[in-house]
């Protein structure tokens, strides 16, 4: 066993290094979801976003055993937060990963640690970290559950494979996350939006919109699924405030899950503890708490 610590290359985008990490995250979650707070879809979504701080990519740590990736210390958008993912057979690397983050990431950083990951919690305490009340939650939907929904008259569902409308997509996300007015849709902004769909595992048939009678997107749900896994992931979900309380959010999420189920998914996960998802049929699955260095 020869463990080597390497830095992620500085080159952004969907490179060979990106794919190596993506395959690693899929591999360690193949039988049991061990890093639900940071899995392959979150990694791919991260590289799809325009506000990823690409100048810090080299600070991502990779531990390899004879060239095979076995552990990862990464951020999502900025180095003020960290996520540590380790092959279950290499738990002994968790203290090294904590030490690496402590010395490499921002001084005022936090590490999200799954509340059931006792080895990583112990390693964090040994390096002077303490848990905080800041948490991220995940919920699970059993696809054997009811996927029925109804739409108001005049509304319909479609996938972005049927209509890839960057303007309509931008508007529903902008408004759905409670921004006022129109989204900034310069040519550069539209190029940034288009990045959302460049990822190697994007399937536009799994990106679902509810269309209003006037043709605009009233709600949207992005689903992530790879055929050689048995779970799907939900991200992002948005409903235009003008169309809320109409069951459209429920419809778009369940339709996205239904289409992934047709391709082989047995369960769906979402990184949220919102009552909206519990009302649909999701159940709490796991939480990860933010740990910070002691003052």
Are 22 and 130 part of one and the same domain? yes
SS3 164: coil
pLDDT tens per residue, range 191-208: 999 999 999 999 999 999
CATH number at residue 100: 3.40.630
- What whole-number distance in Å separates Cα of residue 260 and Cα of residue 204? 11
- What whole-number distance in Å separates Cα of residue 61 and Cα of residue 44? 17
Are 133 and 182 part of one and the same domain? no
- What whole-number distance in Å separates Cα of residue 212 and Cα of residue 235? 21
Are 170 and 125 part of one and the same domain? no
Are 188 and 207 part of one and the same domain? yes
- Residue 142: predicted pLDDT: 94
Sheet holding 267-270, edge to edge: 3-7, 61-65, 68-74, 81-86, 110-114, 283-293, 129-142, 267-270, 231-239, 217-224, 207-211, 156-159
Please state, as a whole number, how many other Cβ atoms lie within 10 Å of the Cβ of residue 91.
15
Helices 166-176 and 187-195 pack at an angle, to 10 degrees, of 80
Are 259 and 150 part of one and the same domain? yes
Q: From 89, 80, 118, 111, select the one nearest 24 (Cα to Cα).
A: 89
Is residue 186 in some structural domain?
yes
Instruction: Report, as an integer, the average pLDDT of 210-236.
Output: 97
Instruction: Report, as an integer, the average pLDDT of 49-73.
Output: 97
pLDDT tens per residue, range 123-175: 999 999 999 999 999 999 999 868 999 999 999 999 999 999 999 999 999 99
The number of domains in the chain is 2
- Residue 251: predicted pLDDT: 98
Residue matched to tokens 């552990």: 71
Please state, as a whole number, how many other Cβ atoms lie within 10 Å of the Cβ of residue 278.
13
Are 109 and 186 part of one and the same domain? no
- Residue 32: predicted pLDDT: 82
Confidence of residue 33 (pLDDT cuts 50, 70, 90): confident
Is residue 30 in some structural domain?
yes
- Residue 134: predicted pLDDT: 97
Write out the residue range of the structural domain in which residue 106 sits.
3-137+288-293
Instruction: Report, as an integer, the average pLDDT of 15-28.
Output: 97
Please state, as a whole number, how many other Cβ atoms lie within 10 Å of the Cβ of residue 245.
8
pTM for the model: 0.95
pLDDT tens per residue, range 246-255: 999 999 999 9
The residues, any chain, with a CB within 8 Å of residue 96's CB and separated by 6 or more, are: 5, 63, 71
Over the chain, what is the mean pLDDT?
96
Are 108 and 149 part of one and the same domain? no
Instruction: Report, as an integer, the average pLDDT of 224-245.
Output: 96
Whether 80 and 109 have beta carbons less than 8 Å apart is answered as yes
Is residue 31 in some structural domain?
yes
Are 51 and 125 part of one and the same domain? yes
Is residue 280 in some structural domain?
no
Is residue 93 in some structural domain?
yes
Is residue 180 in some structural domain?
yes
- What whole-number distance in Å separates Cα of residue 91 and Cα of residue 99? 14
Q: Report the residue count for the chain.
A: 295
Report CA 126 to chain centroid distance, whole Å.
29
SS3 213: coil
Please state, as a whole number, how many other Cβ atoms lie within 10 Å of the Cβ of residue 80.
13
The residues, any chain, with a CB within 8 Å of residue 6's CB and separated by 6 or more, are: 61, 62, 63, 64
- Nearest-5° Cα angle at 11, 70 to 78: 75
Are 204 and 259 part of one and the same domain? yes
On the CB side of 185, CA atoms within 13 Å amount to 14
Is residue 275 in some structural domain?
no
Are 125 and 195 part of one and the same domain? no
Are 26 and 127 part of one and the same domain? yes
Q: What token pair was written down for 187?
A: 């040519």
Residue 130 main-chain phi, psi, to 5 deg: -135, 145
Kind and range of the H or E element at 104?
A: helix 94-104
Is residue 238 in some structural domain?
yes
CATH number at residue 225: 3.40.630.30
């Amino acid at each position: 066993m020869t463990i080597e610590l390497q830095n992620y290359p500085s080159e952004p985008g969907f490179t060979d290094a990106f794919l190596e990490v993506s395959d690693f995250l899929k591999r360690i979650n193949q039988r049991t979801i061990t890093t639900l707070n940071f899995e392959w879809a979150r990694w791919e979504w991260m590289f799809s976003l325009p506000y990823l701080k690409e100048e810090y990519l080299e600070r991502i740590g990779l531990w390899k055993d004879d060239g095979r990736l076995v552990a990862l210390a990464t951020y999502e958008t900025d180095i003020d937060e960290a996520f540590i993912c380790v092959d279950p057979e290499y738990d002994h690397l968790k203290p090294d990963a904590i030490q690496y983050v402590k010395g490499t990431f921002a001084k005022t950083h936090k590490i999200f640690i799954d509340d059931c990951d006792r080895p990583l919690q112990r390693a964090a305490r040994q390096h002077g970290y303490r848990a905080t009340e800041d948490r991220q939650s995940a919920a699970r939907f059993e696809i054997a559950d009811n996927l029925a929904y109804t739409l108001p008259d005049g509304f319909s569902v479609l996938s972005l494979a049927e209509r890839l409308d960057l303007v309509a997509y931008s508007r529903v996300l902008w408004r759905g996350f409670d921004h006022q007015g129109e989204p900034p849709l310069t040519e550069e902004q539209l190029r940034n939006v288009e990045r959302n769909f460049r990822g190697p595992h994007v399937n536009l048939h799994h990106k679902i919109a509810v269309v209003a009678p006037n043709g605009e997107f009233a709600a949207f749900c992005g689903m992530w699924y790879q055929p050689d896994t048995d779970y799907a992931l939900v991200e992002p979900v948005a409903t235009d405030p003008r169309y809320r309380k109409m069951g459209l959010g429920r419809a778009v999420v369940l339709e996205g899950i239904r289409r992934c189920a047709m391709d082989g998914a047995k369960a769906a996960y979402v990184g949220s503890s919102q009552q909206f998802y519990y009302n649909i049929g999701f159940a709490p699955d796991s939480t990860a708490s933010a740990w910070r260095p002691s003052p």
